[in-house]
Structure 1
Amino acid sequence: MMVAGLTAAALATVGHLGHRAAVTVPAELRPPAPGTAAALHHTLREGNHPAALPARSGTGERVVYALGADRVWLVEESGTVRRSFGVSPSTVDPAPGAYRVTSRSRTATGSDGVPIEHVVLFASVEGTAIGFSAAVDGSAPRLDPEERTGGIRQAREDGAAMWGFATLGRKVVVVR
């Protein structure tokens, strides 16, 4: 009985000291309240979220494309993620590294015959142009592994955001 009393007293003391320590932490060092925009930004910045900007993805204003995650980030000069979204990959991937936007077309026809818009090209692999685009009908490509395609498809609203951000010469960083 005495051991139980001592254990309860010790736990109460530790709990009280932990509470006092928590309330005396300066506000700027406390994690943001769950469910707030600040909490989401903190989660993304700390890499604790599947959509977090990959580490070692460069600096400055850039487009980041993660091959393994099939995800794109539009990153401002400050390092703040303006927008992030999933994409449908092509059958030909560019090698990881830094590229620049070399060409843009408002409309075109994809290699699958589907009308596309907001075409932003940044690389070429053995004659296959690599770039981002959106299908006008909103469809994802039907990939044939035997066919060499370089179109990385995005939703139309994401394509419009990419078009506004990825101007000629904009850096594109490809990571695994």
Structure 2
Amino acid sequence: MARGSSAFVAALTAASVATVGFLAYRAQAGVPPNLGTRPGVSAKPTATKAPRDSRNPTALPSGSGVGERVVYSVDDDRVWLVSADERVENTFPVIPGSVDPAPGTYAVTSRSQQVTGTDGTLVEHVVRFTGVRGVVIGFSAAVDGAAPAPDPAVRTGGIRESRADGETMWMFATIGQKVVVIR
């Protein structure tokens, strides 16, 4: 086979894989919340809050997974960046959007250096990991450093960090990085 043909086939394969990935992501965002449940059974996962160390409220909660990962507590509005050897590399507070992800294990699906958020704010170091009924969920930092409370009337999935913490997240959470969401 000629060298040009191999490159063409490789490019075509890469484009096909990217297209299938994109379509799977879009399909997941459009799945009705009650799909696959029996009548009278809630589609929402029932997760209990992970145990906390009362002496050190910023300590990594037990039951938050294993291995290298980002841990995000919806109830505590806090993130932990955990190395493969279970050492907390960093932890910091965040300000969630108006839409929370369900507890579970995800992976970073896309990243953007700088975009405009769903609330109209210019954000940087965007690290996305899931979607909830059409709302993309991910970490980001406002370029102007502002951290206003989210407007509950606007469905937003941006979990805001300080600019310094956003840069730390950007360096840690590359495509495929595990993200564990806990209560």
TM-score, normalisation: structure 2: 0.70
Identity of aligned residues (%): 60
CA RMSD of aligned residues (A): 1.4
Distance in 1 between the 2:166 and 2:54 partners? Answer: 25
Distance 1:132 1:49 in 2: 24
Which structure 1 residue ranges, 4+ long, deviate > 2 Å from structure 2? Answer: 45-48
Contact 1:112 1:141 in 2 (8 A): no
Q: Which structure 1 residue ranges, 5 or more long, are not aligned?
A: 1-44
The residue type paired with residue 105 of structure 2 is A
Asked if 1:75 is matched to 2:82, the reply is: yes
Could you tell me which residue of structure 2 aligns to residue 156 of structure 1? Answer: 163
Helix, strand or coil: the match of 2:105? strand
**If the length of structure 1 is used for normalisation, what is the TM-score?**
0.72
Q: Distance in 2 between matches of 1:128 and 1:63?
A: 20
Could you tell me which amino acid in structure 1 is paired with residue 144 of structure 2? D
Shift of 1:134: 0.2
Instruction: Give the secondary structure class of the aligned counterpart of 1:140.
Output: coil
The structure that is helix-richer by fraction is: 1
Q: 1:143 aligns with which of 136, 140, 150?
A: 150
Q: CA-to-partner distance for each residue in 1:38-93, whole Å, 9 max, x for gaps?
A: xxxxxxx9663110101100000000000111000000000000000000011000
Of structures 1 and 2, the larger Rg is shown by 1
Q: How many residues align?
A: 132
Structure 2: which 5+ residue stretches go unaligned? 1-51
